[in-house]
Amino acid sequence: MPRCCPCATSSSPSLFLLPSVPASSASKTASSRRVAFSPCDGAFSCVSGRLRWGTRPRGRCATVEASGKDGSGTAEEEKEKDEPGFNPFGFVTDNPSSRSAIQLPAVPAEDGNVGQMLYRIEDKGREYGSYVRSGEFRWFVRETGSRDARRGTIVFLHGAPTQSFSYRVVMAQMADAGYHCFAPDWIGFGFSEMPQPGYGFDFKEEEFHKAFDDLLGTLNITEPFFLVVQGFLVGSYGLTWALNNSNKVLKLAILNSPLTVSSPVPGLFQQLKWPLVGEFTCQNAVLAERFIEAGSAYVLKLEKADVYRLPYLSSGAPGFALLEAARKVNFQDVLHRISAGFSSNSWQKPILLAWGISDKYLPLSIAEEFKKANPSVVKLEAIEGAGHMPQEDWPEKVVKALISFL
Alpha helix stretches (DSSP H) within 113-220: 114-121, 168-176, 205-218
Compute the distance between CA of residue 65 and CA of residue 84 in angstroms, rounded to an integer: 14
Verdict on whether the full-model pTM lies above 0.85 = no
Compute the distance between CA of residue 151 and CA of residue 279 in angstroms, rounded to an integer: 45
Averaged confidence pLDDT in the chain: 80
CA of 116: how far to CAs of 111, 131, 286, in Å?
6, 25, 16
Beta strands, E only, 100-257: 129-134, 137-144, 153-157, 180-184, 225-230, 249-255
> Could you read off the pLDDT tens digit of each residue along the chain, which spans 406 residues?
444 444 444 444 444 444 444 444 444 443 444 444 444 444 444 444 444 444 444 444 444 444 444 544 555 555 455 554 544 443 334 444 444 444 444 444 344 555 555 656 667 889 999 999 999 999 999 999 998 888 999 999 999 999 999 999 999 999 999 999 999 999 999 999 999 888 889 999 999 999 999 999 999 999 999 999 999 999 999 999 999 999 999 999 999 999 999 999 999 999 999 999 999 999 998 999 999 999 998 899 988 999 999 999 888 999 999 999 999 999 999 999 999 999 988 899 999 999 999 999 999 999 999 999 999 999 999 999 999 999 999 999 999 999 999 9
Task: Show the CA angle centred on residue 402, arms to residues 385 and 233, nearest 5°.
Answer: 75
Cβ atoms 253, 402 nearer than 8 A: yes
Cβ atoms 356, 387 nearer than 8 A: yes
Compute the distance between CA of residue 402 and CA of residue 406 in angstroms, rounded to an integer: 6
String of b and e for 18-28 (b: at least 16 CB within 10 Å)?
A: eeeeeeeeeee
Question: End-to-end alpha-carbon separation of the chain, Å?
Answer: 86
**Residue 382 belongs to what H/E stretch?**
strand 378-383
